[in-house]
Structure 1
Amino acid sequence: MDLDNLPTMGFWRFAQQAPQELALIDPDGRRWTRGELLSECNKIVHGLRARGLGAGDAVAILMPNSAQNLAILLAALQAGFLVVPINWHLAPAEVAYILSDSGAKAFFCHTDSLAIAEGAIAESGFAAEMTFCLGDSPNTDSYQALLADQSEHMPLDRATGMVMFYTSGTTGKPKGVRRAIPQVDPDTAATRFTMLLMLFGIQPGDDNVHFCGSPLYHTAVANWTTSSLHLGHSVVMHERWDAEAMLRAIEQYRITTAHVVPTQLIRLTKLPEQTRAQYDVSTMRHMLHTAAPCPVEIKKTIIDWFGPCVYEYYASTEGGGTLVDTADWLRYPGTVGKPWPGADIKIFDDDGSELGVNQRGTIYMLMTELSRFEYRDDPAKTANGRIGDYFTAGDIGYLNSEGFLFLCDRKIDMIISGGANIYPAEIESVLIGHPQVVDCCVFGIPNEEWGEEIKAVVQLAPGAEEASLISHQLFDFCAEKLARMKCPKTFDVVKQMPRDPNGKLYKRRLRDPYWQSHDRLV
């Protein structure tokens, strides 16, 4: 794609050209025109500048989905700020760490996250007067006060800002993924940022409506939502994701694009058939998903239901990646696609040697000028995940003879039992096909003879048989589709799997207790 010849777009430009057009329907159902959202965005810039912030300063956000959350993102991206979205499920100490590590000069929160914010402020020593709460807060300044008496006009000296997402911190403290800020104006930067959407065939225009049902603190969610606005699309935003609520929104607002993860696709397919049949989903043009391997049978069901509008891509907070449309996926079920233009994929073994066709190893992606990054203040971590100009997110996979990439699992999640490498994602994709299983997780636990054995944790559908009876059924179900060495040895049943609103599983909460007790014995 020729970046130099793209027509200049960007939310701010569209909002000035047609301020009366719909930009957003927020979680409360309020309809925001482009002009209203732009006014909110501009007031935030003026308010923060009046408090002493300038280009390069960091702004942290600990807020649920809202128009104001999105306006802060847009404000930062046109004022040269570094915006840091924070997961509002974190503990105060974790939020305090990110506040300190990012060097944030301003902190936005919400009454729903106020207790966490106040705990983080107390622990980090962050200035309460630079904390702006949306809603009532006796101990901080208010969002409303920051905007009071500020101009709604476009700020002067506009500069391109950047989002710095923090990695999940699977090992050690989370790290901010920081990229160099493009030395172009915000409108040009926004236009270039829409490139990924256009690779899928998504075009500019006000006849598109994007559905945002997951938290904006996730990289893909924020990127796809802001990019949709930069293409002149409107956005329908929910505070949290619900399967039937999404179907209802698709029909009511004639949604054309949506970004989901495999967990959400699974929950859609687990709805009763009569519920699924109630809603018209024919307006959907691009149902996009990423984040983890999607069970083949689940995706086939989604394609049969929604039609050939299902697209998948592979990327990470650090960059990417590959993409695949419905037709190519049906040719190679399970693939996450081929590298998009300008991208490249290589598979390396643990010694750094490149592997050949159908050989499983660690996936490395080419860093382009747009995707080049570093982990904030951690050159060792930055260097450890790289081979030349390629970096890894820690996933295992292989390339077939046609260059299509297949994911196996996260390297950290791989089970080594009796010297054999076993991939939990393969087992989970089988388990989730059982009619009484609505969610599942597979991991390794200590075994004196084999090193690790396979444990499965399942969440059952309402009215399912007792746990003591279901375990035998689940084992037999797996044994029909998997080698016996891959079948879980034991099954635990939980009422609710520990997932965040976007479907991300906190596997360590299930796995760590087994290893902690083992570590105390060895």
Structure 2
Amino acid sequence: MAQIARWAREAPDKIAAHFPDLGISITFGELDARANRAAQWLISLGLEPGDGVALLMDNRPEFIELVFACRRAGLYYTPLSVHLRPQEVAYMLGDAGAKAIIVSPGLAELATALLREGATGEVPRFAIGEGLPRYGSYEAALAAFPAPTRLPERPVGREFLYSSGTTGLPKGIKRPLLSWENRNTPDWDTTWKSIYGFGPDTVYLSPAPLYHAAPHGFTIRRTIAEGGTAVVMAKFDPLRALELIERYRVTHSQWVPTMFVRLLALPEADRMRFDLSSHRCAIHAAAPCPVGVKRRMMEWWGPILWEYYAGSESVGTTVVSPQDWLARPGTVGRPVNGVKLHICDDDGNELPVGEVGRICFEGAPRFAYHNAPEKTAAAYNARGWASLGDLGRVDEEGWLFLSDRRADLILSGGVNLYPAEIEAALARHPEVAEVAVVGIPNEDFGEQVHAVIVPRDPRADTRALQASLEALCKEHLAGPKRPRSWEFAEELPRSEAGKLLRRILKERYLKPA
């Protein structure tokens, strides 16, 4: 990849990535050389341009070097969640057509389970380090290619990502490779660079898994490829994150709202003892952030929180600055990159300002889900406008406010109820840390509103808290929107990307067929 080759020439001793939990840092010179050697190895396996490799890895340097190696070898790479079950790995390997899988030493238990259940089939298997039975050694493989060399002129490889699958099996998004002749042209949207100020002086903190689309993109494309330095945590820990911001003078970071909740739950003495003055841009997305949580974060960190709404499908993006959000609390922004935003009914008709409907984008490059033409067709309406399946509304100035996903709507007595609206009312209560609202079966109304509450104090008197919440609902919500049943939990089920898994909350109330 031309970008890191440039930085390896201009600043070979500059750190490309710190892995503080592993005690490892890697320079641009080292990354460039390792990526070249790994690319030689991948090509030696007989992998042709456009073939695919699966990476089942936690946050470690080899993940990054293999990403750049695949790009240089003209290969697709598919990062897999380390929380997948063997049958899910088997599905994704088969669907992506991966011709090799590389695993981390920390995933030995899952790697062994994959073999036991035949999930990898005949796909060649390799492991970082030594000693994982029936997996080839990655280091031993690289030893056969001790020095960088000139590589064949191949297309530029790229990521082959899968959606998070919160409502079913993950869907793959596979885009064309960039030709060798255009290898110096970024194959990603560079608007992010100007909006958030990424560049060679960036020090970016990644508190999330690199196999997710957002942390992957921010770490690889917007930081390292731009000559900046990434600080990669092994896993999120709120106190550790603050410590690393201070230690490495972090300038940029990317979060999900549940991380904010955990940061705010720290004792005030811990929150205030770190110097965060270098931190000038904190980006968040993936799930709606309660207004109260975001306000408290900005009172603490200052007006540095940027928010965006988008998806791996890249059908459209909205962005909101801290200042614009403070003027319009709850908005997720306005469209960027010349894409137009529309709010439509079920028949594709555009709705008036203020009405809730399907969020559609016009003007972005068309995409397709891999091996799923029916799901691709469902993402587009008759006018060719694309949607991620979410609902929302716009105000008079075109600012977007999210409501829910279509699949999350509660239909009670013939009335459409939006969980996000109810959750926003419940989140006002000072004793509520997190809240989720779902529809569960009701013989008379079809569905009823069920609220799941995570108290700020785990020792809270839940009976008293419920009574207080019911009083709050009477004040702020119409009758049909008020929860009919309540549940108190220590945490909410979420994906590793921070998305609420409502289906898990609902499944326990579904009657067996």
TM category, shorter: over 0.9
Q: CA deviation at 1:494?
A: 2.4
CA shift in 2, pair 1:243/1:441, >3 Å: same
The question of whether the paired residues in 2 share the 8 Å contact of 1:78 and 1:186 is answered with no
The question of whether the paired residues in 2 share the 8 Å contact of 1:211 and 1:259 is answered with yes
Tell me the residue number matched to 2:393: 398
Cα shift readout 1:51-105 (whole Å, capped 9, x = no counterpart): 1112101010111111111211122122211111111111100011101111101
Following superposition of structure 1 onto structure 2, how do residues 68-217 of structure 1 map, counting pairs within 5 Å?
68-121=62-115, 122-127=117-122, 129-150=124-145, 151-153=147-149, 155-183=151-179, 187-189=183-185, 191-193=186-188, 195-205=190-200, 207-217=201-211
CA shift in 2, pair 1:181/1:504, >3 Å: same
Tell me the residue number matched to 1:38: 32
Following superposition of structure 1 onto structure 2, how do residues 408-487 of structure 1 map, counting pairs within 5 Å?
408-487=403-482
Aligned match of 1:298 in 290, 293, 296? 293
Aligned match of 1:358 in 354, 357, 372? 354
SS in 2 for 1:323: strand
SS in 2 for 1:123: coil
Q: CA deviation at 1:490?
A: 1.7
Q: Distance in 2 between matches of 1:128 and 1:376?
A: 20
Q: Distance in 2 between matches of 1:163 and 1:186?
A: 17
Q: Would you say 1:13 and 2:9 are equivalent positions?
A: no
CA shift in 2, pair 1:83/1:103, >3 Å: same
SS in 2 for 1:374: coil
CA shift in 2, pair 1:171/1:208, >3 Å: closer
Q: CA deviation at 1:33?
A: 0.8
Aligned match of 2:402 in 374, 398, 407? 407
Q: CA deviation at 1:241?
A: 1.1
Aligned residues: 507
The question of whether the paired residues in 1 share the 8 Å contact of 2:440 and 2:448 is answered with yes
Q: Unmatched 5+ residue regions in structure 1? A: 1-7
Q: CA deviation at 1:404?
A: 1.1
Tell me the residue number matched to 2:15: 22
Name the aligned partner's letter for residue 403 of structure 1.
G
The question of whether the paired residues in 1 share the 8 Å contact of 2:101 and 2:124 is answered with no
Following superposition of structure 1 onto structure 2, how do residues 208-287 of structure 1 map, counting pairs within 5 Å?
208-227=202-221, 228-287=223-282
Tell me the residue number matched to 1:331: 327
Q: Distance in 1 between matches of 2:467 and 2:150?
A: 65
SS in 2 for 1:459: strand
The question of whether the paired residues in 2 share the 8 Å contact of 1:134 and 1:142 is answered with yes
SS in 2 for 1:244: helix
Q: Distance in 2 between matches of 1:11 and 1:487?
A: 55
Tell me the residue number matched to 1:52: 46
Q: Distance in 1 between matches of 2:140 and 2:452?
A: 48
Q: CA deviation at 1:375?
A: 0.8
Tell me the residue number matched to 1:375: 369
Name the aligned partner's letter for residue 24 of structure 1.
A
SS in 2 for 1:179: coil
Q: CA deviation at 1:462?
A: 4.6
Cα shift readout 1:433-462 (whole Å, capped 9, x = no counterpart): 434333332111011112211112223345
The question of whether the paired residues in 2 share the 8 Å contact of 1:348 and 1:362 is answered with yes
Q: Distance in 1 between matches of 2:119 and 2:133?
A: 19
Cα shift readout 1:123-160 (whole Å, capped 9, x = no counterpart): 34533643334453012112212211313345332421
Tell me the residue number matched to 1:489: 484
CA shift in 2, pair 1:328/1:84, >3 Å: same
The question of whether the paired residues in 1 share the 8 Å contact of 2:287 and 2:498 is answered with no
SS in 2 for 1:416: strand
TM-score when normalising by structure 1: 0.91
Q: Distance in 1 between matches of 2:401 and 2:346?
A: 18
Cα shift readout 1:4-41 (whole Å, capped 9, x = no counterpart): xxxx9723321232111111101313111111122221
Q: Distance in 1 between matches of 2:143 and 2:492?
A: 43
Name the aligned partner's letter for residue 12 of structure 1.
A
Q: Distance in 1 between matches of 2:134 and 2:345?
A: 53
CA shift in 2, pair 1:125/1:84, >3 Å: closer
Q: Distance in 1 between matches of 2:181 and 2:156?
A: 6
Q: Distance in 2 between matches of 1:109 and 1:170?
A: 24
Aligned match of 1:312 in 273, 286, 307? 307
CA shift in 2, pair 1:348/1:34, >3 Å: same
Q: CA deviation at 1:351?
A: 1.0
The question of whether the paired residues in 2 share the 8 Å contact of 1:293 and 1:409 is answered with no
Q: CA deviation at 1:390?
A: 2.0
Tell me the residue number matched to 1:65: 59
Moved more, 50-59 or 415-424: 415-424
Tell me the residue number matched to 1:384: 378
Aligned match of 2:339 in 316, 338, 343? 343
CA shift in 2, pair 1:270/1:134, >3 Å: same
The question of whether the paired residues in 2 share the 8 Å contact of 1:471 and 1:490 is answered with no
Tell me the residue number matched to 1:289: 284
Tell me the residue number matched to 2:508: 513
SS in 2 for 1:301: helix
* Backbone CA RMSD of aligned residues: 2.2
Q: Distance in 2 between matches of 1:291 and 1:100?
A: 27
Moved more, 224-233 or 434-443: 434-443
The question of whether the paired residues in 2 share the 8 Å contact of 1:363 and 1:397 is answered with yes
SS in 2 for 1:375: coil
SS in 2 for 1:10: helix
CA shift in 2, pair 1:181/1:201, >3 Å: same
Name the aligned partner's letter for residue 16 of structure 1.
R
TM-score when normalising by structure 2: 0.93
Q: Distance in 2 between matches of 1:242 and 1:125?
A: 32
Cα shift readout 1:156-205 (whole Å, capped 9, x = no counterpart): 3242112111123344432211122233557534x352614224141422
